[in-house]
Amino acid sequence: MTPAELDLRQYAVLGLVQQAGFMALDYFNKSESLGVTMKGAQDWLTVADGAVEDFLRQRLAVMFPQDAIIGEEGGGEASDAVWIIDPIDGTSNFARGDRNWCISIGFLLNGVPEIGILSAPALGEIYVGRKGRGATLNGEAIKVSGQTDIKRAYVELGWSTRIPAERYVAMIGRGYAAGASVKRGGSGALGLAHVANGRTEAYAELHINAWDVAAGVVIAAEAGAFVSDFFSGDGIARGNPILCCTPGLRHELEQITQIGGRQAND
């Protein structure tokens, strides 16, 4: 695929995600029409998840019929050129009226994340990352904090019921013992974006799915973050652990999280 073909995808899908953002925001603002159900314990679903994913799938299929699509709600198979969609990341926040949620879409070419776009319309924020071309928030270049002192670090540790609570609690304990301030924001995709713009120093999760991180890994890496190689092995189909941090804290955070591995996007 040529750089011009990647440009076309980046700009076309940025427009699509902005439209999808208006759609999702409309659902968010009319909470009575959210149709909240549960996929499992602490695993939320709203009608907006399906509607936003359907909208993106239909438009992508028309614009780039040769590209594969994987979505959190509708599934799909990978191919050399694949879009990976999370229609609403942070659905538990979305369903409760908390603004920390986003639409996430990433494009991988031959297994390499090339384009990442995140729209957080309730926050008025759009993040874009393009491999080799940097990362932006609302059009302005962003970079990681550069912090090197764990005792000044703000670290987000993601959680889901896919991992035993004891392992998660032990990781939090190691973080506090090292002197970090620990938080959880409920959107893994935005967690990565917040490392990219320096609001936090790290995002880590012991297991996360590809749709949660496909956009954020490009945005964070292009902003100068260390990002563990999430897409190694069977990451697209089964998920993987992820560690994303400002580079000066990588060693300490590998010990706190017990997540290692080489840098993604190498």
Query: Which is closer to ligand IPD, CB of 129 or CB of 191?
Result: 191
Question: Taking the complex as a whole, how short is the minimal distance between the CB of residue 148 and ligand IPD, in angstroms?
Answer: 26
Which of 53, 86, 222, 252 lies at the binding interface for ligand IPD (CB under 6 A)? 86
Query: Which is closer to ligand IPD, CB of 89 or CB of 222?
Result: 89
184-200 b/e with 16+ CB inside 10 Å = b? ebbbbbbbbbbbbbbeb
3-state SS class at 75:
strand
User: 228: which DSSP letter?
Assistant: B
- Distance between CA atoms of residues 180 and 184, nearest Å: 13
How far is CA 18 from each of CA 22, 46, 52, 127, rounded to the nearest angstrom? Answer: 7, 20, 11, 11
Residues in the interface with ligand IPD (CB under 6 A) total 15
Q: Is 89 in the site for ligand IPD (CB under 6 A)?
A: yes
Q: What is the DSSP string of 120-187?
A: ETTTTEEEEEETTTEEEETTEE--------GGG-EEEE---TTS-HHHHHHHHHHHHHHT-EEE--S-
Query: Which positions from 93 to 132 touch ligand IPD by CB under 6 A, shown as an x/- string?
Result: ----------------------------------------
Query: Which is closer to ligand IPD, CB of 159 or CB of 230?
Result: 159
Query: Which positions from 15 to 54 touch ligand IPD by CB under 6 A, shown as an x/- string?
Result: ----------------------------------------
Which of 46, 147, 187, 265 lies at the binding interface for ligand IPD (CB under 6 A)? 187
Residues 61-80 that bind ligand IPD (CB under 6 A): 72
Residue type for position 253: L
Give the footprint of ligand IPD on this chain (CB under 6 A).
72, 86, 89-91, 158-160, 186-188, 205, 208-209, 212
